[in-house]
Amino acid sequence: MTRKPAQSDWHPATWQAQTVSQHPLYPDAAAVESVVASLSRLPPIVTSGEILTLKRQLAEAQRGERFLLQGGDCAENFDNCTSDAIANKLKILLQMSVVLLYGLKKPIIRVGRLAGQYAKPRSADSETRDGVTLPSYRGDLINRHPFTMADRVPDPSLMLRGYERAALTLNFVRALVDGGFADLHHPENWDLAFVHHSPVAEHYHQIVHAISESLDFFELVSGQTATSGTERVDFYASHEGLHLPYEQAQTRFLEKRRGWFNLSTHFPWIGMRTADVSGAHVEYYRGIQNPIAIKIGPAMSAEWLQELIAILNPQGEPGRLTLICRFGAKKVEQGLPAMIQAVRATGSPVLWSCDPMHGNTESTATGVKTRRFDNILAEVQSSFRVHRDMGSYLGGVHVELTGEDVTECTGGARGLTETDLARAYKSTVDPRLNYEQALELALSIAHARGQPVGSQSTR
Ligand code: PEP
Ligand code: CO
């Protein structure tokens, strides 16, 4: 049998004794237990070796040697588990990473919000329409989106369907990456058909051309093929580890590593609404060996953050903790410096990342949830500036995006307006950058931080 972990007061279910926020009320507790038991017997989705490699890379990013690109849907949908949707998401992330590699001159750690991003925190437990009140939709792992009682009642069997979809998604991503899809010698593999007509296409192609030339030059002078790190890129999975029965079921003690690992994903994060130091989520996360992230919003205080660091990374282990700040364009300059100072006072290493999406959500006059590209860009740029001014390193961005041609965020080079939102609004939760806006964001970061490409400005 498995040996006790270092912290003998912890096991994957100790969270159940704490207050758990953002969890649904299942009508049948026995059915939940039975699903958790089934999930616990199924093979893992990722391996501990991959998790530890990622943790080493995140430690390098903390030292300023790498940059983290994390992105994907706000919520994956079971129906959208299709080859096109997955390949397009991988393509846009690869395109962005090539632009960032070129602009920042650092290896990029690529992490998808995928293969498990199925559970969502909600601001209200219920939703009322025309006098009818039903449980809120909490993501496909919990219940279904249509507004009927049968769909909205939490259904534990959806955890099994989510596990299967996560495995199918990551299996396809791995097959594409292993098959050379991500080879830097062949960036034409990632050309999304519509990119050719994009106002930012030329800029992107200049970068790809410059990288191809550099690779050719390296191969010519060194007499070898630039395989290591170029032919094969690593790609990791992440999701908000919100639904603890699902996370618990995939948490295993590995004798050879002498520790517990969440094997449902490489890099789970704690959402802003579930970061209470005495809550169930923090209790669960303190016992796993994965690198983890915490979302930080305007309500976070210096003391709270320091307590989280003391609980979640008591040994100050490099690579363990990433802080994803999401203040909003208007609040970042005021809120971020205190967070940087608070962390500094602990002496513990963290990786700073910027989520320019969640602090910039607004509703149009007709009640459509959207985000303005200008605000997203402004928050990223302000974050870079604050870190630079304080002698700190912003080592990552975290974005909600899709490889599809949706119209959910306004602005960008094509100047999408509120009227355009009706055309292709597909998200069931938060508005995402479309492929073109996502690429433009990467180009702007590269342009502002590194060497300008061509004479064209991206703004
Ligand atoms: C999210 O990342 O989709 C999310 C809900 O973020 P936050 O916890 O920062 O609000
Ligand atoms: Co979101």
pLDDT band (50, 70, 90) for residue 265:
very high
Query: Hey, what are 329's tokens?
Result: 């364009």
Give the residue, by CA position, lying nearest to ligand 1 atom 10.
272
Q: Evaluate whether residue 61 is within a structural domain.
A: yes
Domain CATH for 375: 3.20.20.70
Whether residue 140 contacts residue 75, with contact meaning beta carbons closer than 8 Å, is answered with yes
In a domain, 330, yes or no: yes
Residue nearest to atom 1 of ligand 1 (CA): 74
The pLDDT tens digits of the residues spanning 219-228 come to 777 776 655 4
In the predicted model, what is the mean pLDDT of residues 387-395? Answer: 98
Residue 172 has pLDDT above 50, yes or no: yes
Tell me, yes or no, whether 263 lies in a domain: yes
**By C-alpha distance, which of 287, 275, 341 is closest to 313?**
287
Higher local confidence (pLDDT), 188 or 124: 124
* 131 domain-assigned: yes
Question: What ligand is nearest to the CA atom of residue 281?
Answer: 1
Residues near ligand 1 (Cβ within 6 A): 74, 121, 240, 271-273, 295, 326, 358, 430
For residue 119, being part of any structural domain is answered with yes
Q: Ligand 2 centroid to 272 CA: how many Å?
A: 11
The residue ranges of DSSP E strands in 76-221, in sequence order, are 108-113, 126-129, 132-135
What are phi and psi for residue 245, nearest 5 degrees? -60, -40
Ligand 2 centroid vs 75 CA: distance in angstroms?
A: 7
Angstrom distance (rounded) from CA 34 to CA 396: 39
Domain that holds residue 44: 7-446
Give the number of domains in the chain.
1
Around ion ligand 2, which residues have CB less than 5 A away?
A: 74, 430
Tell me the C-alpha distance between 85 and 87, whole Å: 6
Distance between Cα 419 and ligand 1 center (Å): 26
Residue 456 inside a domain? The answer is no
Q: Which stretch of 3-7, 249-253, 352-356 has the lowest confidence by average pLDDT?
A: 3-7
How far is 319 from 32, CA to CA, in rounded Å?
Answer: 34
Encoded tokens for 271: 């959402």
Q: Which residue among 123, 136, 272 has the greatest number of ligand 1 atoms within 8 angstroms of its CB, and so is best to mutate?
A: 272
Indicate the helix (H) or strand (E) that contains 29: helix 29-41
Could you tell me if residue 457 is inside a domain? no
425 in a domain, yes or no? yes
